[in-house]
A and B are shown apart, each in its own frame.
Chain A
Amino acid sequence: MAPHDLRRPFKRAAISDQQRGRELSLQRQAQHRRDAQHQARCLASFLNPHSDPEQPEPETTPEPEPEPSDSPKELDIRHASKLKGAEARKWFARQLMLPEWMIDVPDQLPKDWYVFARPAGKRCFVVSSNGTTVSRLRNGSMLHHFPSALPSGARTRDSSGSAQSYSILDCIFHESDQTYYVIDMVCWREYSLYDCTAEFRFFWLSSKLAETGACDPPSQYHRYRFSPVPVYNCDLAGLSAAYTGAVPYVKDGLLFYNKHAHYQTGNTPLALVWKDENCSQYVIDTDSKGQVPSQQQVVLELQDNGNLSTSDDPPVVFSCLDRAFIEQTESRSGNLLRFAIGDGGLNFVDGKLEKADLHYLGKPNRARAFADSYSKVMFQYMARHSPLRIDDLLASINSLSDQENKPSDVEMVG
């Protein structure tokens, strides 16, 4: 409690010129912001469709949205590589390319598609940057945080690039041999591969990954081994090799990637997953106790209007809940709900889902981030009733090669 200073400004102007300079700048900025805003508003009066009542309303004009975030730009990833905590979870939850389930066989399998055996395990993004490596699961939560031989993946002298550089790999962590199997490459040493074809990405993956030593056995600065998976052209030989060939991992179905497709976040029909009992232990979904339930179960998302829909964009509506039921189960829009498909099954009209016999079971595990996709529900439904078999796939390839071998039907009349 020393005596209190009571000096007051002496022979000084009330405000300094520096402060005056700041305030004048702020005034100028505010004025320019007003001008810019005003200009934007004026632009409205003759560009905006509303100004002419004859014009259709904008809700009808926009194109249907393709995908919520179809091509994240390179800098967006730079941003993401630095994200932490909840922000990172939210971001990564939306970033994986999610294959649809194969419910019918695409044309031109041998020409346009790759096939490989999917390792059984946890699908995740692996991000190496700033001297550390982090893997994140499909729901965005962190799996491991470790040093690796990936670029900037550990705090060692990295002669091959700046410490700031980052890489992002799409992987499956295979528990029994503690290996990250790399199934796709999204970003390598700050070079974004989002807008590259699968053909290029797989080429880049196979040539770059080994260079780093990431495929070497674990060591002090490299806790987990990384490994590429053998990828085949989806011709007869390729499909057979993927289906029956020996791999060091437990298989969980086959993945089909369209060669020309870019890395697209979210569900995409340009990557497909297919399974049967020979190449997967998990063809038919099990419940939380690991048992195959007697009835197929689906997880759907409750919409504002009571609709129950899949995670697809646009969503496929399975049913609609009434208000009383929503209130009784204390559900809110956006909630995920679990249902069983009853004996009534799924009914289709003209190939479109018309009616589903759903029975409410409860709310799924909190870790679930998404509802089931339409293709997943359909694949599961087919697996229980009339599965798509390996023979069907082989036959489709055969029929194509038959066509190619046949002489052309067109008569040349030169």
Chain B
Amino acid sequence: MAMEVTQILLNAQSIDGNVRKHAEDSIKQFQEQNLPSFLLSLSGELANDDKPVESRKLAGLILKNALDAKEQHRKFELVQSWVTLDTAVKAQIKTCLLQTLSSAVSDARSTASQVIAKIAGIELPQKQWPELIVSLLSNIHQQAANVRQATLETLGYLCEEVSPNVVDQDQVNKILTAVVQGMNASEGNNDVRLAATRALYNALGFAQANFSNDMERDYIMRVVCEATLSPEVKIRQAAFECLVSISSTYYEKLAHYIQDIFNITAKAVREDEEPVALQAIEFWSSICDEEIDILEDYGGDFTGDSAIPCFYFIKQALPALVPMLLETLLKQEEDQDQDEGAWNIAMAGGTCLGLVARTVGDDIVPLVMPFIEENITKPEWRQREAATYAFGSILEGPSPDKLTPIVNVALTFMLAALTKDPNNHVKDTTAWTLGRIFEFLHGSTIDSPIITQANCQQIITVLLQSMKDVPNVAEKACGALYFLAQGFEEGGPSSALTPFFQEIIQALLTVTHREDASESRLRTAAYETLNEVVRCSTDETASMVLHLVPIIMMELHKTLEGQKLSSDEREKQSELQGLLCGCLQVIIQKLGSLEPTKYLFMQYADQIMELYLRVFACRSATVHEEAMLAIGALAYATGPDFAKYMSEFYKYLEMGLQNFEEYQVCAVTVGVVGDICRALEDQILPYCDGIMTQLLKNLSSNQLHRSVKPPIFSCFGDIALAIGENFEKYLIYAMPMLQSAAELSAHTSGADDDLVDYTNSLRNGILEAYSGIFQGFKNSPKTQLLIPFALHILQFLDSIYMEKDMDDVVMKTAVGVLGDLADTLGSNAGTLIQQSLSSKDFLDECLSSDDHLIKESAEWAKLAISRAISV
């Protein structure tokens, strides 16, 4: 059945585009027409040592791609087609693959390893291919190093593909034994040792039982630590990667080893090559992540039973750890601020220092201050920058009490440095540090303000001046202004920024027009800052925000003039349109919420809508997310008048709902449907068939990202509330969907936190749908149509109550639904309500809630229930 495929595979890598295309088409055709023969041919090619390495590698790659894909539904199809393949064919393919592990050609071996792991990922969970692990383990004892290397690599990939619970402990033990032995210094071959070390990285998740056994854990840790001292840099790097992984997976088992690990990492950070040093720093960053999580969960006082306690490794290591990290800050690269992809030891060290500050709080300040004081005035820019960066890094974590006195002194110095320092790198970090000061130490929650009438003028003058500096410095200055404005957000009717408002807006608009504004994401930062300044504006400055409308509209208009754009230009146009639509959205939302400007703004509504429609028309297949969000804000501001735009806008709405790939766009569009429902009320009716059809399709699709489904249910509620009893015709479609989703989301037993969160958001969506439907049908002769659903809905409320894992949002919505059901169905549901647990225990619990929203809904429900059962 196998065919000769060498030439085709070589042609598929030809430099001649036509030859390549033809070969690719033939390969595709072969795969579609005869999958068994196709897979056999490829595995035969991969296994054949007489064939050229290029065709063997590609054969393996295509084979791998025939077993797995990124997209979930495609992956599922591929798995299905493998599973249904003839057993004899599968056996022959597997034999070829295992045979390839002994090949002299390393590329062929490595490709075969990956394919074997993919098949294992499909078959081991089904209890198939039981002989695989046995056969791999028998390879380990072979003499030939290449076989051992390939086998360890395969075990590594295998552990990456399959979940630990499908391999029984006996085999796990054997795999780990083989891997750790392969890592041992007694293994003479470096390739084997490297493959074993990389395999351990993936196998760590399988080692739960072994890490609970002191002797085994000691052995594994010893071998890993020894491997960090290997003369081979790749082995050292891989060994540190294992340590990083262990730090998060087995944090609670580390106490015994932490001193040794500190010594090893300190040596690596100071002396080793950068890739190794970076991993060594990452170990401590990862420990910080763990301790920050633990301390956040327990608020510092650990009382938990089964949960992991904090061992305060960072606090203990602090006196040695901080100096080590401060040293790294002096190892900056010349142009790291202009290079988006840069990541070096100074950056990693500073990042880790910031995490340490968040972990230990005040304790870090006295350890860092001497370094800052010593270096910040030095003639060498590296020292000034390192000192500034250290200062900026420790601003999150320590208490404002501890930091404010220092910041008050430093602020003047920073402002001077931002104006006068000759070095761009120093200015960049200085502007960033100012932003951090405003982010963490300025705002209505801080007792002693660092920004006063006395220094506000100077701060703004310096920041606006800096916005004319080189792009990377200007971008950081915009960022600082962003947080400065944010700190005044809750400042009441009058803001300290008012006297400078016009000047700030003008300066930001000037930045957006800089020729070099596309560098260092400067233009984006300027618009984002403009957004924040608008969000934080007050009645006093509303008229100035209103003046921004025609200006931004003009900018948006300009983006529509270009014809016949190259794909690069089109991308830039789209990005700019995104920024401008985003900005208009913020402006509309602001003006719509302020009484003095609400009506004045309406004069622009037609023109704005026309612009949005033209922005939508720029793209053929997708919809602009920001433009869609902006439409939602506009619909809210215009209210029922939005109806006149619907006939033209509808197709883009539909397009947005159909955008499964960019699910954010889909989610945003679903939200906009809600906005439009509330704006139009029953005038949305003519569009509801189309909208509901698409929403129902989206719910049934397994291609749509799951996060969009809860808002779709909420949207049902929005529609029902808008169109009332006209929702009748959708009941036969919507109710079964709601019911089956409700059944799925009733229980969360054994789910992880993410799934519990998702389940709660799903419940909330379902409940919001029920609320909207009940309220929509209220006082209509058709309320009877809802009676058949009452029992199910009450049972759903009872079951989520009994699960005891509702969050506050769900609790509020759930008790509201109880009230809506009683309110709309009245005595028709009286008996059912009285029989439900929700109407008693759950309602009582909500009535005594501290959350006033829950309490308010519960009181409403109580009233509605008493009416329903009193008659």
Give A residues with C-beta under 8 Å from B.
1, 3-4, 6-8, 10-11, 13, 17-18, 21-22, 24-26, 28-29, 32-33, 36-37, 40-41, 43-44, 47-51, 53, 57-59, 61-63, 65, 69, 72-73, 75-76, 78-79, 82, 87, 90
Contacts and interface: CB of A to CB of B under 8 A. Distances in A.
B146 interface: no
Majority secondary structure of chain B interface residues (helix, strand, loop or mixed) = helix
Interface stretch (B122-130, B207-215, B508-516, B819-827): B819-827
Interface size class for chain B? Answer: 35 or more
B22 interface: no
Contact of B714 (A21, A33, A53): A33
Interface of B: 153, 156-157, 160, 198-199, 201-202, 237-238, 241, 244, 275, 278-279, 282, 285, 342-343, 347-348, 351, 428-429, 432, 439, 476, 479, 482, 528, 531-532, 535, 582, 585-586, 589, 626, 629, 632-633, 636, 664, 668, 671, 674-675, 678, 686, 688-690, 692-693, 714, 717-718, 721, 729, 732-733, 768, 771-772, 775-776, 778-779, 781-784, 816, 819-820, 823, 826-828, 860, 864, 867-868, 870-871
A21 B781 contact: no
B686 A75 contact: yes
A8 B819 contact: no
A29 B675 contact: yes
Given A29-B674, A29-B675, A8 B244 contact: no
A253 B279 CA distance: 87
A4 B237 CA distance: 10
Contact of B279 (A6, A22, A28, A32): A6
Nearest to B775: A40
Given A33-B718, A62-B782, 18 more contacts: A1-B160, A4-B241, A8-B348, A8-B351, A17-B482, A21-B585, A25-B668, A28-B636, A33-B768, A37-B775, A40-B776, A47-B779, A48-B779, A57-B828, A58-B826, A58-B827, A59-B826, A62-B784
A26 B779 contact: no
Contact of B689 (A29, A49, A79): A79
12 contacts: A1-B202, A3-B237, A3-B275, A13-B479, A17-B528, A17-B532, A21-B586, A29-B675, A48-B778, A48-B823, A51-B867, A78-B690
Nearest to A6: B282
Contacts, number: 159
Given A29-B671, A33-B674, A37-B775, A58 B532 contact: no
Majority secondary structure of chain A interface residues (helix, strand, loop or mixed) = helix
Given A1-B198, A47-B779, A72 B671 contact: no
B133 to A, nearest CB: 18
A51 B868 CA distance: 9
A51 B826 CA distance: 10
Contacts of B871: 50, 53, 57
A50 B531 contact: no
A6 B633 contact: no
B671 A25 contact: yes
Contact of A59 (B157, B532, B828, B864): B828
Given A25-B629, A26-B671, A1 B689 contact: no
A216 B233 CA distance: 82
A87 to B, nearest CB: 8
B778 A40 contact: yes
Given A6-B244, A59-B828, A75-B690, A17 B531 contact: yes
B582 A21 contact: yes
Q: Pick the 3 closest A-B CB pairs, nearest first.
A: A75-B689, A17-B528, A62-B781
Contacts of B686: 75
B589 A28 contact: yes
Contact of A79 (B532, B586, B693): B693
B343 A10 contact: yes
A26 B241 CA distance: 39
Contacts of B674: 29, 32-33
A37 B721 contact: yes
Contacts of A6: 244, 278-279, 282, 343, 348
A21 B629 contact: yes
A28 B630 CA distance: 13
Contacts of B198: 1
Contacts of B816: 37, 41
A244 B432 CA distance: 97
A76 B627 CA distance: 29
Contacts of A3: 237-238, 241, 275
Contacts of B827: 50, 57-59
A24 B782 CA distance: 37
Given A57-B826, A61-B781, A11 B729 contact: no
B286 to A, nearest CB: 9
B768 A10 contact: no
Given A6-B282, A61-B781, A29 B479 contact: no
Contact of B864 (A36, A44, A63): A44
A32 B677 CA distance: 11
A25 B635 CA distance: 13
Contacts of A11: 428-429, 432, 476
B9 to A, nearest CB: 24
Nearest to B779: A47
A46 B213 CA distance: 70
Given A6-B244, A44-B823, A53 B778 contact: no
Contacts of A47: 779
